[in-house]
Each structure stands twice: as structure tokens, then as C-alpha cells.
Amino acid sequence: MPAILLKVLDQDIVLNCGAAEQRRLEDLAAALNTRLDGFSGDPDAMRRLVITALALLDETQATAAALARARGEVERLTDMVLEARAEPADVERGRTPALRIVSGAA
């Protein structure tokens, strides 16, 4: 697995990552630099802080993407339910086409 060199708070941080993750980690490091501008402290503590913050930013973005996918699925399923409710009632029973009422729905 190739290593990537990130610069956060003027410190070099080397992380192992896949080729597909390199750009994402660079973007996360840039966002982290913006948020941590002006911070200073013990270099080892800052390194741990940076690695932890990168992991948290990545997790937050992954969760937001999963939430967006879930919302899309909810909308798709809602559309399916609405289409099912809009189908005409059975003509065999002598009724005119109307909306079916689904039990328990209001």
C-alpha cells in the first residue's frame, strides 16, 4: 500500500493509503488545516490530534453520504406506496375506478 505525505500544521504526516484514497485524504488534510489554523503545542500530541481528526472527518463524511443514500431510498419507497394507492379499484365488484384505501393508512 503506497504512503502519502500530508502537511498539517506545518508538520509532515505520512499515512498508508490506497491510490483511490489519496485525493480524499489530501482534501481532508486541507479542511483540517483550515480548522486548526493558529493551534500549536507538543508535536507528538498534535500528530495524534491530526490523525484522530482526519479519521473523524472521514467518518462524518461517510455517514453523511450514507444518510443521503437512505433519504433517496425512502423517497423511492414513498413514491412506490403512493403509486400503489393510486391504482383503480376492482371493476369486477361493480365499482367505478377510484382510489383504493389501504388498511391502516390515513
Q: Where do the domains of the chain lie?
A: 3-88
| Size of the chain in residues | 106
Confidence tier at 87 by pLDDT (50, 70, 90) = low
Confidence tier at 99 by pLDDT (50, 70, 90) = low
Task: Kindly provide the b/e burial profile for residues 62-95, where b requires at least 16 CB atoms within 10 angstroms of the residue's own CB.
Answer: eeeeeeeeeeeeeeeeeeeeeeeeeeeeeeeeee
Task: Kindly report the pTM of this predicted structure.
Answer: 0.51
pLDDT above 70 for 102: no
C-alpha cell at 88: 383503480
Rounded to whole angstroms, the Cα distance separating 104 from 83 reads: 17
Q: pLDDT tens digit string along 4-40? A: 888 887 888 888 888 888 888 888 888 888 887 777 7
Q: pLDDT tens digit string along 49-78? A: 888 888 888 899 899 999 999 999 999 999
The whole-chain average pLDDT of the chain stands at 80
